[in-house]
Amino acid sequence: MRDVPAPRVLSGIQPTADSFHLGNLLGALRQWVALQDDHDAFYCVVDLHAITAEQPDPAVLRQRTLVSAAQLLALGVDPERSTLFVQSHVPEHAQLAWVLQCLTGFGEASRMTQFKDKSTREGAGAASVGLFTYPVLQAADILLYQAARVPVGEDQRQHLELTRDLATRFNGRYGDTFTLPEAYVPPGAAKVLDLQSPDKKMSKSLPPAGCVNLLDDPKVTAKKIRSAVTDTGREVVADPVGKPGVTNLLAIHSALSGQSTAQLEEHFAGRGYGDLKKELADVVTEAFAPVQQRTAELLADTAELERVLAAGAARARAVAAPTLATVYERVGFLAPFGGTPA
């Protein structure tokens, strides 16, 4: 009986901050670790995407890229069970993106809601063409590896639909080339809300008091949790409409401790919000401690980190290069004399 190959999954994260945050961990990164068990996993630090909305200091971008990779390893991404690489180390991403841009209608790209939101927030004059074509580069990231599954949140579903549309369009015009990826919502993914604005998703773009970073000093983390917005009354119960702040704190506790919401409500019966916040601060800092220690070790001597990323880029290119070569041949590009498209 032939072994059935594991489905390939691809996901990426931007190095646009000095640390990942609790929302990244519980909403995506913890699931990345679990997916390694039964998927052919490709994970990348998407530094090309990181310059679409701003032009960070070059030294800062390089350091954030290393810190991002170090955190992924510290969280449990295993280079023996998955492929971890930096997006810009695989030039095929940008090369395929250009071909796909030439298949994308202007109106089609204009309808992407994330571009509308960001350009409205930052002003049309400040929005770059790179931000406009961001979803097409994202499509190239996915299609380059023939990924069957892509972990997505609600804010990325439209981009995945564009990816599928572009794959279908290319396949129809040039013959079957790309796998049509499916959206995948990993079990256990949690939506973490901002501690100060529990009507919004936790994000580095909001004021820092509401965002709990993985690499924050434990005292800073505890202070942010103690200062979290709660609600009227004293009863510690989940009520997304009436008590969104408390509900968010309970959801974070549940995701990290493994206790159900009902168990936590029973545990905190007769106690107040201060008790919840104190215990949650302990749970969060305890969960972060080994990640912080391992991240610091990897950054103290980057030789291991550099070796992992170099090996990951080589493995990624071994998959990406044949895909791009097929695309170039089918589009009609003249192959380099004495070699193949690269």
Q: Say which DSSP state 243 is in.
A: B
Q: Is 203 annotated as a binding residue?
A: yes
For CA atoms 269, 272, 273, 278, the dihedral sign is negative
Radius of gyration, CA atoms only, the chain: 22
Q: Is 201 annotated as a binding residue?
A: yes
Which residues, 6 or more positions from 261, have their beta carbon under 8 angstroms from its beta carbon?
238, 250, 251, 254
Q: Is 200 annotated as a binding residue?
A: no
Tokens at 90, concatenated: 């695989």
Is the distance from CB of 244 to CB of 215 less than 8 angstroms?
no
Owner of token pair 């395929």: 96
Annotated catalytic residue within 116, 200, 204, 219? 204
Q: Is 204 annotated as a binding residue?
A: yes
- Taking the C-alpha atoms of residue 264 and residue 250, their distance in angstroms, rounded to an integer, is 7
Q: Is 141 annotated as a binding residue?
A: yes
116 has catalytic annotation: no
- Taking the C-alpha atoms of residue 106 and residue 161, their distance in angstroms, rounded to an integer, is 16
Annotated catalytic residue within 118, 224, 243, 277? 118
Owner of token pair 């564009």: 162
Q: Is 23 annotated as a binding residue?
A: yes
Tokens at 19, concatenated: 């640390």
Q: Is 192 annotated as a binding residue?
A: yes
Q: Is 24 annotated as a binding residue?
A: yes
Is the distance from CB of 152 to CB of 185 less than 8 angstroms?
yes
As annotated, the binding site for L-tryptophan includes 141
The residues assigned a catalytic role are 118, 201, 204
Binding residues: 14-16, 23-24, 141, 153-155, 192, 201-205
Annotated binding site for ATP: 14-16, 23-24, 153-155, 192, 201-205
